[in-house]
Amino acid sequence: MAASLIANERILALRLTCRAIGNLLSAQRKLPDKRGAVFHSAEPFFRPKKVAIVGASESGGGGWPRAIYQNLEFAEFPADVYLINPRRDELWGRKVYPDFASLPEPIDLALTIIPAEFIPDVLKDGAENGLKSALIYAARFGEGGDDVGARRADQIRTLCDDTGLVVCGPNCMGAMSFHTNMLFYPATRIRGMPLGSTGVVFQSGGTFMFWLQRAAERGLGFSYAVSSGNELNLDLADYINFLVEDDDTQMIACMVEGIRRPEAFMEAARKALEAKKPIVMIKVGRSDAGKEAAQSHTGALASDDTVLQAVCRKYGVIRCYSLDEMIETCLVLDQRRWPMGKNIGMAGFSGGGKGLFLDYAADEGASMGRLSDETVALIDPIIDPGLSGQNPIDCGAGIAYRQQDFSVVCNHMAADDGVDIVAMQGQLPTSADDPTDPTIFSNVFDATDKPVIAYVRVSQNVSPAGLEFQKATKVPFVQGLSQAVRAILGLVRYSDAMNKGVTPLPDATGDKANLDGEAFDALLSEKGLTPPASGFGATPTEAANQAAKLGFPVVLKILSPQASHKTEVGGVALNLDDEAAVIGAAEDMASRLKAAEPNAEIEGYLVQEMVSGTEVILGIREDPQFGPFMVVGLGGILVEAVRDVSFRMLPVSEDDAREMLDELRGKSILGAFRGAAPRDVDALVKAICGLSDIFAQYRNHLADLEVNPIIVGAEGEGVRAVDVRPVWR
């Protein structure tokens, strides 16, 4: 019994690995702080009734105070406006006050357009006199390692904590509440932006207005927009939370440089998903920061962006990789039609366009629907002779001159159960006298409840006539074939996330005693992670005796604190056929290790039954920002070189597990590949979910849990968790 307890390599790995890194991980990692889900209220900032322009002057801030005042004047003063400047008595026909104390009433929002060094004292005066929120345009609050500015930022944070004041910025370009015409942007060109249901949060001030203008020209309308700057107080999570709870907002577009409160961000994203308000996000700086790569393959494979991508997948946040793509995706989502499945129906009148669409669909993993024979029979007589009515449909050049026939084809396609999203070839007119009939598209839109888009093969400069045409069709004209495919996939993934919902992590209540000895073996086996039969030998001879008991061939592994990754020191031998081979292999391993590490401590040898099959890695670790995530990949010990992996946040469901396997580039080797029998995918899925369950329950004790490799046998043969490496928190 004692031998079986210590023979299990997972327990030995725990003891050996923790000597080197246990204390380090304990110091560096902690469970997410639940207090991070507390939100600051952005209500007084976005919906102020009384506003003060602090620093009101003709020339201060490069004319910013005057521009903001003119915007409010243009909107016929949607809020009561006061001017503050201790050096002026009157400005723009209004009384100017020296400070907050002299104002006749408390202020909801202060627009501070003054030098940074004066802002802490001014806001302290405001808070003492009932100020609720402030917008700080100025920079010099610690950017670039400025110690003086950093102390200034700390003063603002402390003031907010002590008084409940909420602050937007600093180092930002302002904000707009479009439905109430409160335009706190320091330029008059902001006037006339179209009203709509998209809320916008940009951490980049310079890109902020540029994107809004281009998106407006493409047909997007807005509810609120904010340039959030350095986010000393109000942050991305707060703005998203406000927009989720706002009746005028149905979608949120974000440009993100950093997520300051991950737990609050995830909670806001969960609320948005539950409210069916998509978040569309472009992330700046998709860099690989690494996660203690030396400790596990899981850490080496993970990066900041891969973990964030898994977070977005869980919470239905749609990632975009360009500002243009974010516009097109928002237009597609603005229809607010959610597909029941993932199958695209595509119709056009260009063989080349069809081919490119299919290329991009293959690149992105998009699914093309198959039409029924009845639908094809309806389409075939309408399209050009010699062409097929099966999806994707090339109707032929002739149908370009028979516009309503093209509409009929698309209607037939949209009515087919094999299609979930309709994509029609289109082009926006450049002038009002263009003969193209918008009912080609609106007829299809009106006849179905499925999402309908028009794809433009090459991006256009959209004219006012084109924008009016797009409105008349009720259909977004997505600019570019690749953009169309990615926007459709964003829609599909959002709908999928919405249907699944967010399953919360269970409480980590696992008893540490279950992670030791035979109890751990039983736990692994119960969760589908059955280890191979094994034995322990303290010497080469004892290892040979254990091998004889197990039956040949066997695998031999050296156990040493200096051989955590055994293959790297020649500490693994396969297919040993007799006792002499075991003894020889053990002696060779010891010699190699001693030559490399003269002070190496050899604790013995693990002998395991030889298991053959497909090697897969399963790994879980706790991300310090977002919590536990899983990696599934092909390649076993070569996984870092192959990097054929998929990520998900915990908990991982059976659907998640199958999706992860389907995302692998080499997934075909899990099927009937080159004459080999299909692998036992069902057993692998059970193991993936089982590892997720174990880590979720015992993450109060574990920092990392990796199975590499897990050997997947043929159908019906199950899996074997050959090498399980847990690491204590």
Residue type at 535? G
- Asked if omega into 170 is within 30° of 0 (cis), the reply is yes
Percent of the chain residues past pLDDT 90, beyond the cut: 79
Provide the pLDDT for residue 26: 30
- The structural domains of the chain, with segments of one domain joined by +, span 2-18+510-609, 41-189, 336-475, 614-728
* Contact assessment for residue 114 and residue 152, using Cβ atoms and an 8 Å cutoff: no
What are 487-520's pLDDT values in tens digits?
999 999 999 999 999 999 999 999 999 998 889 9
Report whether pLDDT(101) > 80.
Answer: yes
Fold of 41-189: Rossmann fold (3.40.50)
Provide the pLDDT for residue 564: 66
* Contact assessment for residue 138 and residue 119, using Cβ atoms and an 8 Å cutoff: yes
Report whether pLDDT(692) > 80.
Answer: yes
Within this chain, domains 336-475 and 614-728 share the same CATH topology: no
Structure tokens at 143: 């950017």
Report whether pLDDT(359) > 80.
Answer: yes
Provide the pLDDT for residue 3: 34
Least confident of 151-160, 204-213, 291-300, 532-541: 291-300
Nearest to 527 by CA among 515, 537, 535, 539: 515
The band of 729, judged by pLDDT with boundaries at 50, 70 and 90, is confident
What's 2-18+510-609's CATH class? Answer: alpha beta
Percent of the chain residues past pLDDT 70, beyond the cut: 91
d(C-alpha 166, C-alpha 228), whole Å: 12
Structure tokens at 16: 């050996």
Report whether pLDDT(100) > 60.
Answer: yes
What are 409-424's pLDDT values in tens digits?
999 999 999 999 999 9
d(C-alpha 456, C-alpha 219), whole Å: 15
Fold of 614-728: D-amino Acid Aminotransferase; Chain A, domain 1 (3.30.470)
User: Burial letters for 377-416: b for 16+ Cβ neighbours within 10 Å, e otherwise?
Assistant: ebbeebbeeebebebbbbbbeebeebeebbbbbbbbbbbb
d(C-alpha 537, C-alpha 567), whole Å: 19
Q: For residue 136, how many other CB atoms are within 10 A of its CB?
A: 27
Nearest to 225 by CA among 233, 246, 217, 155: 246
Nearest to 240 by CA among 215, 217, 261, 213: 261
Structure tokens at 652: 């991982």
**Sign, CA torsion 245/248/253/258:** negative
Report whether pLDDT(567) > 80.
Answer: no
Nearest to 723 by CA among 615, 570, 586: 615
Fold of 336-475: Rossmann fold (3.40.50)
**Sign, CA torsion 563/569/575/581:** negative
Residue type at 169? G
Average pLDDT over residues 106-125: 97
* Contact assessment for residue 359 and residue 482, using Cβ atoms and an 8 Å cutoff: no
Average pLDDT over residues 579-596: 93
What are 318-339's pLDDT values in tens digits?
999 999 999 999 999 999 999 9
- In terms of C-beta density within 10 A (0-12 exposed, 13-18 middle, 19 or more buried), how is residue 314 classed? buried
**Sign, CA torsion 510/515/518/522:** positive
Average pLDDT over residues 339-346: 97
The whole-chain average pLDDT of the chain stands at 90
d(C-alpha 499, C-alpha 273), whole Å: 10
Nearest to 211 by CA among 95, 328, 99, 292: 328
3-class SS string, 531-589? CCCEEEECCHHHHHHHHHHHCCCEEEEEECCCCCCHHHHCCEEEEECCHHHHHHHHHHH
The band of 9, judged by pLDDT with boundaries at 50, 70 and 90, is very low
d(C-alpha 383, C-alpha 396), whole Å: 6
Provide the pLDDT for residue 36: 47
If DSSP codes are grouped into helix, strand and coil, which group holds residue 31?
Answer: coil
Kindly state the DSSP code that residue 54 receives in the 8-state scheme.
E
Average pLDDT over residues 447-469: 95
Helix, strand, coil % over all residues of the chain, rounded to 5: 45, 20, 35
Average pLDDT over residues 216-242: 97
Residue type at 727? V
Report whether pLDDT(246) > 70.
Answer: yes
Structure tokens at 55: 């620093």
Provide the pLDDT for residue 12: 37
